[in-house]
C-alpha cells in the first residue's frame, strides 16, 4: 500500500474513556524531519523481503528488506522535495513548518500495514473509540483499485491517479480496435491486479472478446506457481496477452519466459510497468518489443533533479538508507567496524550527477508527479484551514483551526474540495476517448480536435501551375497552327486536307486544351458539371472531325475508280452533318446525365485520416461510363478506318498520320485507367488532366506538324504538281 498520510502533531490528550494502545514498539521511519505538522509517507523503497519461516515457538524474527528500488526512492525524495519547496514558500503555510516521516514497506502488505499503524498511533498517543483522530486522511499516488472509490467504505481516502476502471475500459477498447477476439490475461495476485483484471474481463465479455486463460501471480509465490503460469502461457494458442501487474511481479515472469525462450506475444501492459525503462531495457527482454499500454501523462518538476543529486550520506548522520543507496549506486562500501576487505571503498567523492539510473532519470516523471501533487493537495488544504476566519455560525466554525489544534476530520472536509480542484487541472487523464467529428482530427497530444486539412489541386500548387502552363501552351500552339493554315488556306496542301474540317478540328483541340483547366481549383457545383461535360463534348467534336477527315480520304480514293460516284454521298454538307450528329449525340447524353444525377463536389474522408480530399463525384456512374464509352467507340472507329487507308499512295494522304495519332490517343487512355485508380488524393485529378493534354498534343502534332513543316520549311513541295505525284506503296 503506497500512500501519503497526514499526521497531526496536535497536542493530543489521553481520553478518559476506554482507550486502545498499539502493541509493541513502533518501527523507525527511514526518513524523518520534525515539524509543526507531519506528513507521513509509505513507499516500497526495497522491493523484496527475506524469507523467514515461523516455528511458532519463538517470536518471529525481524523482517529484512532487500533489493533497493531506485525508482521508489525517487518517489520518496520527491515527497521531501515538495515539502521543502512548501516550507520555503511564503504563499502556502507561511507560519507552519511541515515535517515528514517516511516508512519503507518493502513491497510487503504486512509491513505497509504496520507502518500505517505506526504513523496513525505514534509513540505515545492513545485514542478512544469515538475519537475523530481515528480517521486520518490518506492521499495515494499509486493506488488505482476501483474498489477504493467507495466513499461510504473509504470516506477519507483520496488519490492523484485515476481509477483502474478507466484503464480497464481503455484496454478493452484497444483490444477491440485491433480486432483481437482471443486473448490471455495475467494479473498480480493483489487488489490492484484482481480488481483491475475482473473489470477488464467483464467488459471484454460484453464486447465478445474471449479470454483463454487468466492467471494470477505475486512475487512471493513459489517457483512451482511461477512455472505453472509460464507453462500455461506456453501451451496457450493466444498471441495477445493483457496484463494488470506490478513491475516486480511481471519482471519475474518475463525473466522465466526469456530463460525458456518463449516469445512471439503481443503484450498489452498496465500503467504500473509499461513505462518502466529499467524493465523494458533489460537484456533478453526482446519479447516485449511492440508492447502497447496506457501510462500516466509525464510532467516536468523544475528543480527536482538538482535536489536528487545533491544528497550525500555523510551530510545526513544516522541515515542508513542514503548510505545503502550510495553503496548500491556506486558498487562500493563505506568503511566501518564490520567491513571485511571490501572490494571497493566508497570515498564520498562520487558524483550523483554522472549517475544514470532510475533514481536520477527525470525524463519520465509520471508517478513522481502524482506524489508531488499529493503533497501540495494536503498543504493547500491545511493552508485553507489555517487562514479561514471563525464564523459566527456555529455550524460553520468547525472547519477553522490553528496549527496546534487540527483534527484529521477537518482536513478531510477541505481535502475533498481542494483535491478535486487539483485533479481537474492536473492529475486526471481519462482513458476513454471522445470521438472527434468527421471533419476533425485529434492533435499530437490527443487532447483536442483540430479541423482536418482540405486537399485539392489548386492554382497555387506547383503541379497545378505546371499543368496550367501546358494547357495554355497547347492552346497557343493550336491557335498558331490555325493562323498558319488561314494564311496559307489557298495553298494545295491546306486545300487537299479538307480545310473546313481542319479548322473545326483545330477549334475543338483548342477547347480540349482549355477544358483541362476546369479540373484545377476547389470543386464547386458548376465546375464539377462543366469539367466533365466540357471534356466529353469537346473530345467527341475532335474525334468527329478526325473521323470525317478519314472518311473523306477513303471516299476520295474510291472515287478515282472508273464508274463510281461515291463522293456525292459524302460531300461538304454530309461531312458537316456527320460531325454535328456525332457531337449532338454526346450533347444529349450529357444533358441526360445532368438531369438524372449531375456531378457534384464531394469530401472524401476515407483516403486519409488527417485530410479531407475535395473532389468531384460523378453522380451517375452509368452516365459517366456512357460518355467515356462513346468516346472510346469513336476513337476505335477512327483508328480502324485510318489503318485501312494508311497505304493509299498520294502525298496528300494523311491517314497514316491519323493512325499514329489514334495509336497515341488509345494508348494514353488505356494506361489512364490503372493510373487514375491508383493515384492518391489530388493526384487523381492531375492524372486526368495529363491524359487530356497528352491525347490532345498527340492529335495536334501527328496531324498538323507534317503540314506545317511543308508550309513553313519546304514551300517547294507545297505545289499541285508535287502533290499529284504518285509514291510507291510502303508498309506502315
Question: Per-residue b/e over 477-508, b at no fewer than 16 CB within 10 Å?
Answer: bbeebbebbeebeebbbbebbbbebbbbbbbb
Report the range out of 105-109, 127-131, 507-511, 655-659 with the highest average pLDDT: 507-511
Same domain? 137 vs 179: no
The cell numbers describing 313, all together, are 550520506
Residue 81 lies in a domain: yes
The helix/strand/coil state of 722 is helix
Same domain? 719 vs 635: yes
Contacts 24+ apart (CB under 8 A), 256-260: 256/226, 256/227, 256/230, 257/230, 257/233, 257/287, 258/284, 258/285, 258/287, 260/230, 260/234
Same domain? 151 vs 168: no
Residue 342 lies in a domain: no
pLDDT in the model for residue 413: 43
pLDDT-derived band at 155, boundaries 50, 70, 90: confident
Between residues 462 and 340, which one has the greater pLDDT?
462
Residues 182 and 212: beta-carbon distance below 8 Å: yes
pLDDT exceeds cutoff 60 at 376: yes
Same domain? 156 vs 175: no
Contacts of 347 (CB under 8 A, 6+ apart): 332
Choose the final residue of a domain: 368, 402, 420: 420
- Name the phi and psi angles at 39, rounded to 5: -110, 120
Contacts of 388 (CB under 8 A, 6+ apart): 399, 400
Residue 263 lies in a domain: yes
CA distance 423 to 377: 9
99 forms beta bridges with 38
The cell numbers describing 530, all together, are 462543366
pTM above 0.85, yes or no: no
pLDDT in the model for residue 113: 85
Choose the final residue of a domain: 252, 268, 293: 293
Same domain? 96 vs 82: yes
Compute the mean pLDDT over every residue in the chain, rounded to the nearest whole number.
Answer: 79
CA distance 682 to 75: 53
pLDDT exceeds cutoff 80 at 437: no
pLDDT exceeds cutoff 60 at 612: yes
442 forms beta bridges with 449
pLDDT-derived band at 647, boundaries 50, 70, 90: low
Residue 539 lies in a domain: yes
Between residues 398 and 313, which one has the greater pLDDT?
313
CA distance 246 to 48: 13
- Domains held by the chain: number: 3
| 522-563 pLDDT tens trace | 888 888 888 889 988 998 999 888 888 877 777 766 555 555
Where is 104: in which H helix or E strand?
Answer: strand 98-104
Between residues 712 and 649, which one has the greater pLDDT?
712
pLDDT exceeds cutoff 70 at 176: yes
The helix/strand/coil state of 522 is coil
Same domain? 152 vs 213: no
Q: What is the DSSP string of 462-475?
A: HHHHHHHHHHHHHH
**Domain assignment of residue 101, given as a range:** 3-160+301-307+360-420
For CA atoms 23, 28, 30, 34, give the dihedral sign.
Answer: positive
Among residues 443, 439, 399, 401, the alpha carbon closest in space to that of 417 is found at 399
Residues 136 and 120: beta-carbon distance below 8 Å: yes
Segment 115-141 shows an average pLDDT of 63
Same domain? 94 vs 150: yes
CATH of the domain at 174: 3.40.50.2300
pLDDT-derived band at 566, boundaries 50, 70, 90: low
Residue 141 lies in a domain: yes
| 223: DSSP letter | H
CA distance 82 to 299: 15
The cell numbers describing 412, all together, are 478531510
Residues 67 and 74: beta-carbon distance below 8 Å: no
pLDDT-derived band at 205, boundaries 50, 70, 90: very high
| 60-91 pLDDT tens trace | 677 788 888 898 999 999 999 999 999 999 88
CA distance 61 to 447: 53
Which residue bears the cell 492531375? 686
Same domain? 134 vs 283: no
For CA atoms 104, 107, 109, 110, give the dihedral sign.
Answer: negative
| Least-confidence region, from 281-285, 423-427, 727-731 | 423-427
Same domain? 146 vs 171: no
| 267-286 pLDDT tens trace | 998 888 888 777 766 654 67
Residues 273 and 248: beta-carbon distance below 8 Å: no
Residue 432 lies in a domain: no
The cell numbers describing 685, all together, are 485529378
pLDDT exceeds cutoff 90 at 722: no
Between residues 351 and 315, which one has the greater pLDDT?
351
Same domain? 144 vs 188: no
Same domain? 367 vs 502: no
Same domain? 643 vs 495: yes
CA distance 254 to 414: 44
| 492: DSSP letter | H
Among residues 336, 333, 329, 335, the alpha carbon closest in space to that of 351 is found at 329
- How far apart, in Å, are the Cα atoms of 506 and each of 15, 388, 471, 542? 112, 92, 14, 8
Segment 158-180 shows an average pLDDT of 89
CATH of the domain at 693: 1.20.1070.10
41 forms beta bridges with 4, 102
pLDDT-derived band at 514, boundaries 50, 70, 90: very high
CA distance 354 to 339: 27
Segment 284-289 shows an average pLDDT of 70
Residue 366 lies in a domain: yes
| Least-confidence region, from 134-148, 160-174, 451-465, 505-519 | 134-148
Choose the final residue of a domain: 420, 452, 471: 420
Residue 330 lies in a domain: no
pLDDT exceeds cutoff 50 at 416: no
What percent of the chain shows pLDDT beyond 90? 21
100 forms beta bridges with 33, 39
- Name the phi and psi angles at 20, rounded to 5: -120, 140
Amino acid at each position: 500500500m503506497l500512500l501519503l498520510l497526514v499526521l497531526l502533531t496536535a497536542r493530543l490528550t489521553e481520553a478518559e474513556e476506554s482507550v486502545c494502545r498499539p502493541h509493541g514498539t513502533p518501527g523507525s521511519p527511514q526518513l524523518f524531519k520534525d515539524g509543526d505538522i507531519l506528513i507521513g509517507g509509505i513507499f516500497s523503497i526495497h522491493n523484496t523481503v527475506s524469507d523467514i519461516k515461523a516455528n511458532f515457538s519463538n517470536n518471529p524474527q525481524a523482517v529484512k528488506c532487500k533489493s533497493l528500488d531506485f525508482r521508489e526512492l525517487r518517489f520518496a525524495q520527491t515527497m521531501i522535495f515538495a515539502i521543502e519547496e512548501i516550507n520555503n514558500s511564503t504563499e502556502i503555510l507561511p507560519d507552519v513548518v511541515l515535517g515528514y516521516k517516511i516508512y519503507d514497506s518493502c513491497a510487503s502488505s504486512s509491513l505497509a500495514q504496520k507502518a500505517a499503524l505506526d504513523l496513525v498511533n505514534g509513540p505515545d498517543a492513545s485514542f478512544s473509540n469515538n475519537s475523530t483522530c481515528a480517521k486520518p486522511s490518506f492521499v495515494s499516488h499509486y493506488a488505482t483499485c476501483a474498489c477504493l472509490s467507495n466513499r461510504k467504505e473509504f470516506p477519507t481516502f483520496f488519490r492523484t491517479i485515476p481509477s483502474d476502471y478507466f484503464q480497464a475500459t481503455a484496454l478493452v477498447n484497444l483490444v477491440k480496435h485491433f480486432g483481437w477476439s482471443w486473448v490471455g490475461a495475467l494479473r498480480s495476485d493483489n487488489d490492484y491486479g484482481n480488481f483491475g483484471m475482473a473489470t477488464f474481463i467483464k467488459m471484454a465479455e460484453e464486447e465478445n472478446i474471449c479470454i483463454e486463460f487468466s492467471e494470477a501471480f505475486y512475487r512471493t509465490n513459489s517457483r512451482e506457481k511461477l512455472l505453472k503460469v509460464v507453462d500455461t502461457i506456453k501451451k496457450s494458442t493466444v498471441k495477445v496477452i493483457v496484463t494488470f501487474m506490478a513491475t516486480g511481479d511481471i519482471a519475474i515472469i518475463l525473466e522465466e519466459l526469456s530463460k525458456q525462450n518463449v516469445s512471439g506475444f503481443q503484450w498489452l501492459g498496465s500503467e504500473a510497468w509499461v513505462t518502466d525503462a529499467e524493465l523494458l531495457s533489460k537484456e533478453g527482454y526482446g519479447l516485449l518489443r511492440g508492447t502497447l499500454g496506457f501510462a500516466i501523462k509525464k510532467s516536468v518538476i523544475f528543480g527536482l533533479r538538482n535536489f536528487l543529486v545533491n544528497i550525500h550520506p555523510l551530510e545526513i548522520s544516522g541515515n542508513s538508507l542514503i548510505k545503502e543507496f550510495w553503496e548500491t549506486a556506486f558498487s562500493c562500501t563505506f568503511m566501518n567496524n564490520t567491513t571485511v576487505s571490501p572490494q571497493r571503498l566508497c570515498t564520498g567523492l562520487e558524483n550523483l550527477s554522472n549517475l544514470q539510473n532510475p533514481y536520477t532519470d527525470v525524463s519520465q516523471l509520471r508517478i513522481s508527479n502524482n506524489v508531488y501533487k499529493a503533497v501540495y493537495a494536503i498543504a493547500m488544504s491545511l493552508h485553507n484551514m489555517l487562514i479561514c476566519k471563525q464564523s459566527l455560525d456555529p455550524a460553520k466554525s468547525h472547519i477553522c483551526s490553528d496549527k496546534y489544534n487540527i483534527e484529521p476530520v477537518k482536513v478531510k472536509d477541505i481535502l475533498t474540495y481542494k483535491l478535486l480542484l487539483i485533479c481537474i487541472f492536473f492529475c486526471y487523464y481519462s482513458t476513454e476517448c471522445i470521438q472527434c467529428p468527421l471533419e476533425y482530427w485529434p492533435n499530437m497530444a490527443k487532447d483536442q480536435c483540430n479541423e482536418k486539412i482540405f486537399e485539392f489541386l489548386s492554382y497555387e500548387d506547383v503541379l497545378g501551375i505546371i499543368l496550367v502552363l501546358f494547357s495554355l501552351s497547347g492552346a497557343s500552339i493550336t491557335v498558331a497552327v490555325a493562323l498558319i493554315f488561314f494564311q496559307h488556306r489557298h495553298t494545295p496542301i491546306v486545300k487537299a486536307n479538307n480545310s473546313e474540317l481542319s479548322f473545326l478540328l483545330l477549334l475543338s483541340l483548342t477547347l480540349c486544351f482549355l477544358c483541362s483547366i476546369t479540373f484545377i481549383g476547389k470543386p464547386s457545383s458548376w465546375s464539377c458539371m462543366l469539367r466533365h461535360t466540357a471534356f466529353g463534348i469537346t473530345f467527341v467534336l475532335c474525334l468527329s472531325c478526325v473521323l470525317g477527315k478519314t472518311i473523306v480520304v477513303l471516299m476520295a480514293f474510291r472515287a478515282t475508280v472508273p464508274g463510281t460516284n461515291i463522293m456525292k454521298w459524302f460531300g461538304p454538307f454530309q461531312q458537316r452533318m456527320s460531325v454535328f450528329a456525332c457531337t449532338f449525340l454526346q450533347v444529349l447524353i450529357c444533358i441526360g446525365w445532368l438531369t438524372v444525377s449531375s456531378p457534384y463536389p464531394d469530401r472524401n474522408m476515407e483516403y486519409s485520416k488527417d485530410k479531407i480530399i475535395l473532389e468531384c463525384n460523378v453522380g451517375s456512374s452509368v452516365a459517366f461510363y456512357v460518355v467515356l464509352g462513346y468516346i472510346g467507340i469513336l476513337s476505335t472507329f477512327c483508328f480502324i478506318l485510318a489503318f485501312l487507308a494508311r497505304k493509299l499512295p498520294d502525298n496528300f494522304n494523311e491517314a497514316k498520320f491519323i493512325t499514329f495519332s489514334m495509336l497515341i490517343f488509345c494508348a494514353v487512355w488505356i494506361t489512364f485507367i490503372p493510373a487514375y485508380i491508383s493515384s492518391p488524393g489530388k493526384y487523381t485529378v492531375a492524372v486526368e488532366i495529363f491524359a487530356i493534354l497528352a491525347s490532345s498534343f498527340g492529335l495536334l502534332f501527328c496531324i498538323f506538324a507534317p503540314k506545317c513543316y511543308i508550309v513553313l520549311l519546304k514551300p517547294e513541295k507545297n505545289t499541285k504538281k508535287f502533290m499529284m505525284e504518285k509514291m510507291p506503296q510502303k508498309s506502315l
